[in-house]
Structure 1
Amino acid sequence: MPGHSGRRCRLFWLLASCLCAAFLCLRSELATQPEEEPSPLPVLQLSLAFLLCYSLIKSWCPVCPHQPCPVRAPSAHVARKVVLESYYEQQLRISPHVLGHSRAHVSQIVTELLKVGKCEQEGSTLAFRGDFLQIGSTYEQHQTNSLDCFDLLVPIKVPQALQLEPTFHMGPQSLPSSLEGSVICRVKPCIKPEWARCQREFIESFCVRFGKQRALSSAQVLRWFHSKVLRCLNVIRFQCEQRCSISLAPLKDQLILKLLPRADYVCCHISLSVRLIPALHVGDSIFLVAQPSCRSELQLPALSPGTLWAVYLCKHERKFLNWLKVQTPNNSCHLKCLQIMKALRDLGCREFDQQFSVQWNTILCSYNMKTALFHLLLKGPLDAWDDRFLMDRLEDLVLFWRERLQKQELMHFFLGNRNVPDFLTVPRKIKEVLPVNLLAGFDAALLDLVSFQLLKTWNCAHLIMKLNNHKHLPRNC
C-alpha cells in the first residue's frame, strides 16, 4: 500500500541518520588521544547536522522516490462512472451466446407457424405473406435485462381484388393532437365483375364506414389475426413438442407466444416471450400497425372504434442504426447510453404511485428514448460518442430530454422531418406529412414533473444503481 511505503521510507532515513551519528561518535572517540580529554562539541555538531539533513529530506521527499505515490481519492465523476459501468456489466449486458440460441429458437418456430398460415390462404380474406421482420430493442441491441422478449412484425396482405389507400395527412385539423401521425387505411375495390363477390365479403368482414367510403378496421384485423395464429399453432404444436413447449397468451391488443426450449444447452432453458404484431405493407418499406387500445379510445366520435393505424418505419430505423455502427468509433457508447437511460427509467419509477408510474413509462417509452437519441446523434460529431466520454454523453442525453420536456416537444424522427439524412431514402409522402410531436396530448404540468423527476433520478443514478445492483428490473424493453 502507498501509505505503508511512505512510513517505511521515513523510518529508513531516521535509522540511517542514527547509524551515521553513532559511527561518527565512535570514530571521534577512537581518534581522541588517551591522555587528552574528549571534546563533545564536534560530536554534537555532527549530530545536529544529520538531524537537520533528515528534516530537510522528510519535508521535501515524504515518500520514497522509487515507490508509487499514494492514490488520491476518486472524484465524484469517476465514482459515478464506476458504479454505472459495474451495473451495466452485471445487469444490462446480454450474453451474445445465449441471445443467439434464443433468436434461433424463435425464428424456427415462427417460420413454421407462418408457413402453415400461408398454405391455408383463402381468396376473400386476409392472408400471411409468409415472412416476418425482427424489430424492437432485442434485435437492435439496446435491450435492458430482458433477453427473453422478442418483437416480430408479421406482414399480412389483402386479396388482390382490393387496394389499400392510407391517408397520411392526419394532422391537428382532423384529429386531436394526441393522435397525430395516425393513419386511416381506405379500401379501394378494383373494377372487375368476377371479383365483386370477393370484395363484398371482405368489406363486410373487415371494413367500417368512413364517410362515403370504407376503411380497414384495425380491431377486426386483430381479431382475425388472433384466431388465425391459434389455428396454426394447433397444427404445429405436436410437431414441435420434442423441441419446445408452446402456448399462446392473448393480452388486450397484443398476442404473446410463449416458448420454452427443450435443448441440450442449459443456457437455453429460458422462457421466451414473442410478441407477434400484424402489419400491413403499403409500399416503400412502410408498414401500418393497429393502434394500441389506449389510443383507440381517444378517437373522434365520427370514427368507428378501431379505425386508426400507426406508421412503422422499422427498416429505415434499422438502416440508420447500421449507418451509425459504421460511422461511430468501434467502442461507441450510443446504444450503451440508451440502455442505461432505460434502466434509470425503470428504477426511477419504483418510488412513484401507480398513476404517475404509468404516465412516466408512457412518456419515456423505448421508442421516444430511441427517437431522442437519434436527434442528439445528428447534432454533434459522432467521434464524441467514444466510450471514454460515456458520462458526458449520458449527461447530454438527460439535458436534451429536459429541454424537450420543458418545450413539450419531441418530434418524430421520420414523419414530417425534411432534414432526415438523404442516405435513408425516406419516401416523399413520409417527409411531406405534417410534423408529428410525440409529446403532444400530455399536460404541461405532467411533462414538467417528469422533467424534474428525470433530473433527480440522474443526480442519484450511482446511488440507485448501487442499491439495485443485485435486483432484477421490470420487463419494460
Structure 2
Amino acid sequence: MLNNGLHTEDLAAVTQVPQNKMMSTLQMLEELYQNKVDFRAKELNPYRSFAEQVVITVLAEVQNNLRSTDPKISLEPIGTGSSFEGVKVKPDLEFDFMVPIQIIWDQIIFSDENPDIPVCFGLIQIKRPLLQEAKSKWATDIDFIPKFCVQLVRHGHVLSAKEIQQWFQSMCARTLPELNAHFPGINFTFQKSGPARTLVFEYCGKEMNIDIVPAVPYKGVYLVAKVTSHLGEAVWRLSFSTHEKAFFDSLPRNSCYFKCLKILKYLREQDKKICPSSQLTSRCPSYYLKTAFFHQVLQTDNYAWQNYNLERQVKGLLLYLAKCMKQQRLPHIFVGNKELVGRRDLWLRDIPCKFFHFKETNLLKKVKKETLHQISLRLIYIHDHLDMVLQKMCYCPDSLQRYSKLSSVDIRDPTDELVRRAEVVCEMEYVNHHHSHLSFEETEAFCEMEYGEQHGHPSFQEYDFDCQEHKLRQCKILCVIACVVSFIFLLMLLLYMSEY
C-alpha cells in the first residue's frame, strides 16, 4: 500500500500498458473515441426519433388544452444541442427542444437601444390593444397582458419569461395521463432541475431526459424563456441554436473536427474521477468547450483538421481553452464577434448583422478567478500528460473510482512544477471543508506547505502560451519552406530529365 492510499496493483495498472496493447497517442485517442466517446448514429437515432415522437405528442395535447387567451404554439419542435449537432458523447441520453410560440409584440429591445439590458438578452415589448379592439388572436387581449406581462417604467408592458415558462410547464405537466396512455408500459415524470422541468422516463432499458423550452422567433434567431435569477423575469435569452447546428453541419465528416470536440467533452466529464474536486468537470460547462472549438475552427485552415492531426488538434484545443481561462476571456460565438461581419457562410444566413456589432460578450466575466485558475491548470495537466490520462481511461477505467484525492502525485515526477501546482489547487477545495476560516490566499499557502513537506518547493514558472504558439508558427513556416524547396527540386529534376 502506498502512503496516499493507492494500491500497488492499481498503480501498476495505470503506469504500465500491457505489451500487446502498446499504442501511440493517436491510436489511443482513436480507441477511446470508438469505444467510449462516440454515439454512433445507429445507436442514437432510435432514441432521438422516440424523443421527437414524445415531444410531438406532448405539444398536440397542449394545443388541445389551450384557452382562447393562451399563446399559440407550433407543433413542429426544433431539436437543439449536441444530440442534433452530431457532438453527443456517451452515455447520457439527453434531448433539448425549442417550441416556437406565436406572440404579437410591438418591438424587441436589445442592449444597443438600452445599455441596461444584458448583451445576450432582450425585452419583448407587447403592444397594448385598444379597448374597442378587444377581439383579436387571443380573443380577449385585455386578459393576456395581466396574465403574461410585467410592467416596466421605461418600456411599458413586456412579456415575462417567467410567466410564459411557468404557463408552458404547467400545460406540459397536464399531458402526463395522455403520454402514459399513448406509450403504454412507460412511466413518464417531470423532474425539476433549476428553473426548468425535465421529462424523465425509461426506454429500452435506458433513462432518457427531455427538456422543452418555449421560444419567440425573431429575424432568424430565437429568444428563449430561460429565467436567470440575477436578471429578473422580464428578459429573454438570445438563442442561436439553429445556426450552431448549421455550423456543425457545414464541417466535413471525413476529418477530425467532431472527434476533437467530443474527446475533449469526454475528458472534461471524466476528470472528476481522476481529481474528485476538479472544477473542470463541475464549473466548465460544455458550452465553453463548444465556444473554444468554434474559435479554433475559424482560426485554422481545413487541412489542419485531417484525421492524422487528431492528437495535435486535441492538444491545441486544450491549450487554447487553458489560455482563455488564464486570461479570463472567452468571447461569445456570435454576439459581439466582429470577425463574422462580412462573412458569407451558409450557417450565418438570417442572423441580423447588428448582433455582430454589439459589445463583446465575455462568457467568463462573472466566473471567479480562482475557479478559472484551477481549470486552466487541469487543462494544462491533461495536455502535458495526455498519454497517461488516456491509459487510465482506456485500460483501467474501474480503478479511477478508487483514486484518492492525491493518487496522481506518486505516479508523476515530483519535479514537474506545473503538475505540482495543479495538485495544490485541486487540494484547496478539500482543505476549505476542514479549514473554512482560511481565506483563499491562506488556503493556497496551507496546501503549498503541506505539499512542500513531502516533495520540496521547486520554483514555479508560468506556462508560456505565447512561446507555444510561436513554436507552432515556426513549424508551419518550416513546413511551407520544405514544400517550396521540394517543389523547386522536383521542377529542376523534370527540366533536367527533359533535356535527355
In 2, Cα distance between the equivalents of 1:98 and 1:445? 40
What code does the residue aligned with 2:336 have? Answer: G
Residue of structure 1 in register with 2:208 after alignment: 272
In 2, Cα distance between the equivalents of 1:366 and 1:142? 11
Secondary structure of residue in 1 paired with 2:300: coil
In 2, Cα distance between the equivalents of 1:312 and 1:200? 29
Cα offset for 1:353? 6.3
Matches within 5 A, 1:134-283: 134-146=79-91, 148-158=93-103, 162-163=104-105, 165-169=107-111, 173-174=115-116, 180-191=119-130, 193-195=132-134, 198-212=140-154, 213-241=156-184, 244-261=186-203, 268-281=204-217, 283=218
Structure 2: any 5+ residue segments left out of the alignment?
1-18, 402-500
Residue of structure 2 in register with 1:313 after alignment: 240
Contact 1:245 1:260 survives alignment (8 Å): yes
1:333 corresponds, among 250, 253, 256, to 256
Cα offset for 1:147? 5.0
* Structure 1 position 422 matched with structure 2 position 354: no
Residue of structure 2 in register with 1:287 after alignment: 222
1:133 corresponds, among 74, 78, 88, to 78
TM-score by length of structure 1 reads: 0.71
In 2, Cα distance between the equivalents of 1:100 and 1:405? 35
Secondary structure of residue in 2 paired with 1:374: helix
* Structure 1 position 443 matched with structure 2 position 368: yes
Mean CA deviation greater in 439-448 or 389-398: 439-448
Quick one: structure 1 residues 147 and 132, their matched pair in 2 at CA, closer, same or farther if it must change by over 3 Å? same
Contact 1:170 1:182 survives alignment (8 Å): no
Cα offset for 1:199? 2.8
Residue of structure 1 in register with 2:317 after alignment: 397
Contact 1:256 1:275 survives alignment (8 Å): yes
Residue of structure 2 in register with 1:103 after alignment: 48
What is the CA deviation profile of residues 296-349 of structure 1, one whole-angstrom value per residue up to 9, with x for unaligned ones?
Answer: 2323xxxxx322221111121122222223xxxx52111111111111111223
What code does the residue aligned with 1:309 have? Answer: W
Cα offset for 1:406? 2.4
Contact 2:126 2:159 survives alignment (8 Å): yes
What is the CA deviation profile of residues 328-381 of structure 1, one whole-angstrom value per residue up to 9, with x for unaligned ones?
Answer: xx5211111111111111122345566x63xx4465312221111111111121
Contact 2:165 2:226 survives alignment (8 Å): no
TM-score by length of structure 2 reads: 0.68
Cα offset for 1:173? 4.7
Work out which of the two has the higher radius of gyration on C-alpha atoms and give 1 or 2.
1
In 1, Cα distance between the equivalents of 2:365 and 2:167? 32
Mean CA deviation greater in 338-347 or 163-172: 163-172
Secondary structure of residue in 2 paired with 1:401: helix
In 2, Cα distance between the equivalents of 1:435 and 1:193? 45
Cα offset for 1:431? 2.3
Quick one: structure 1 residues 446 and 246, their matched pair in 2 at CA, closer, same or farther if it must change by over 3 Å? closer
Secondary structure of residue in 2 paired with 1:369: helix
Secondary structure of residue in 2 paired with 1:415: coil
Cα offset for 1:437? 1.3
Matches within 5 A, 1:371-410: 371-410=291-330
Contact 1:87 1:466 survives alignment (8 Å): no
In 1, Cα distance between the equivalents of 2:238 and 2:192? 23
In 2, Cα distance between the equivalents of 1:471 and 1:119? 49
Secondary structure of residue in 2 paired with 1:324: coil
Secondary structure of residue in 1 paired with 2:337: coil
What is the CA deviation profile of residues 8-57 of structure 1, one whole-angstrom value per residue up to 9, with x for unaligned ones?
Answer: xxxxxxxxxxxxxxxxxxxxxxxxxxxxxxxxxxxxxxxxxxxxxxxxxx
Quick one: structure 1 residues 443 and 271, their matched pair in 2 at CA, closer, same or farther if it must change by over 3 Å? closer
Contact 1:170 1:183 survives alignment (8 Å): no
What is the CA deviation profile of residues 92-141 of structure 1, one whole-angstrom value per residue up to 9, with x for unaligned ones?
Answer: 12232221211221111211221122233333222322221111111111
The runs of 4+ residues in structure 1 deviating greater than 4 Å are 170-173, 351-354, 470-474
In 1, Cα distance between the equivalents of 2:142 and 2:380? 56
Matches within 5 A, 1:106-117: 106-117=51-62
Structure 1: any 5+ residue segments left out of the alignment?
1-72, 262-267, 300-304
2:391 corresponds, among 466, 469, 476, to 466
What code does the residue aligned with 2:165 have? Answer: L
In 1, Cα distance between the equivalents of 2:371 and 2:106? 38
What code does the residue aligned with 2:337 have? Answer: N
Mean CA deviation greater in 86-95 or 120-129: 120-129
Residue of structure 2 in register with 1:60 after alignment: none
Residue of structure 1 in register with 2:37 after alignment: 92
Mean CA deviation greater in 199-208 or 375-384: 199-208
Cα offset for 1:468? 3.4
What is the CA deviation profile of residues 438-472 of structure 1, one whole-angstrom value per residue up to 9, with x for unaligned ones?
Answer: 11112334323321121112323332333234649
Quick one: structure 1 residues 349 and 188, their matched pair in 2 at CA, closer, same or farther if it must change by over 3 Å? farther
What is the CA deviation profile of residues 411-446 of structure 1, one whole-angstrom value per residue up to 9, with x for unaligned ones?
Answer: 112112232232222212322322211111123343
What code does the residue aligned with 1:82 have? Answer: Q
What code does the residue aligned with 2:240 have? Answer: L
In 2, Cα distance between the equivalents of 1:298 and 1:400? 30
In 1, Cα distance between the equivalents of 2:153 and 2:171? 30
Contact 1:94 1:147 survives alignment (8 Å): no
Matches within 5 A, 1:342-361: 342-350=265-273, 357=279, 360-361=280-281
Quick one: structure 1 residues 444 and 245, their matched pair in 2 at CA, closer, same or farther if it must change by over 3 Å? closer
Cα offset for 1:195? 2.4
Contact 2:179 2:188 survives alignment (8 Å): no
Contact 1:171 1:181 survives alignment (8 Å): no
Cα offset for 1:174? 2.1
In 2, Cα distance between the equivalents of 1:118 and 1:210? 30
